[in-house]
């Protein structure tokens, strides 16, 4: 599974493709990340948006206490640059796969390493589904088959 970017604020821990995509999704299009200039900061930076009243001022929306760049940010690319010719999975396809796996939203989200509300936004086509998700779902399907085989083996041994 490709590792997603993760930020922790006083509000929650969020994951996404890039810090910019997380901030846009959680705090709105005008929000941006302002990294701390200190050598040993008490926090990594702040999420800010321009002040409505002063074009040179910013309003602090959140303090970022931890920030771990994901694979896309480490490579300096975006999903669209990395996979330009691939078609994204649709939300209805993801939903059908989840139902085919007989998994709850919470269970699949946990296996994917994302929050349940993120999974539901993907299923409702409110957020773009990462290009690497089909390979992650394939791995989860293989894990489920392994779990079923182990359960059957335990039942056979029990009788």
Residue 123 belongs to domain spanning = 86-159
- Same-domain pairing of 78 and 98: no
Q: Would you state the structure tokens that stand for residue 67, as one six-digit string? A: 């920030």
Q: Give the pLDDT of residue 137.
A: 92
- Same-domain pairing of 57 and 119: no
Q: Would you state the structure tokens that stand for residue 100, as one six-digit string? A: 């085919």
Q: How many domains are there within the chain?
A: 2
pLDDT at 127 over 90: no
> SS3 of 55, please?
coil
DSSP 76-143: T--HHHHSTTPPPPPHHHHHHHHHHTT--HHHHHHHHTS-HHHHHHHHTTSSPPPTTHHHHHHHHHHH
pLDDT digit string, tens, across residues 30-55: 888 888 877 666 678 888 888 777 77
Query: Is the CB of residue 76 less than 8 Å from the CB of residue 14?
Result: no
- Same-domain pairing of 72 and 132: no
pLDDT at 20 over 90: no
pTM over 0.85: no
């Amino acid at each position: 599974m490709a590792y997603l970017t993760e930020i922790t604020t006083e509000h929650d821990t969020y994951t996404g493709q890039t810090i910019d995509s997380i901030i846009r999704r959680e705090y709105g299009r005008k929000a941006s990340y302002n990294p701390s200039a200190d050598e040993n900061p008490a926090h990594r930076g702040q999420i800010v948006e321009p002040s409505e009243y002063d074009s040179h001022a910013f309003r602090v929306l959140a303090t970022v206490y931890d920030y771990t760049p994901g694979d896309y940010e480490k490579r300096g690319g975006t999903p669209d640059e990395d996979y330009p010719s691939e078609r994204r999975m649709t939300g209805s396809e993801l939903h059908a796969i989840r139902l085919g796996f007989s998994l709850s939203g919470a269970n699949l989200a946990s296996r994917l390493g994302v929050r349940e509300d993120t999974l539901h936004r993907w299923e409702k086509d409110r957020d773009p589904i990462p290009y690497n998700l089909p390979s992650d779902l394939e791995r989860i399907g293989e894990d489920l088959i392994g779990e079923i085989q182990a359960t059957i083996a335990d039942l056979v041994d029990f009788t």
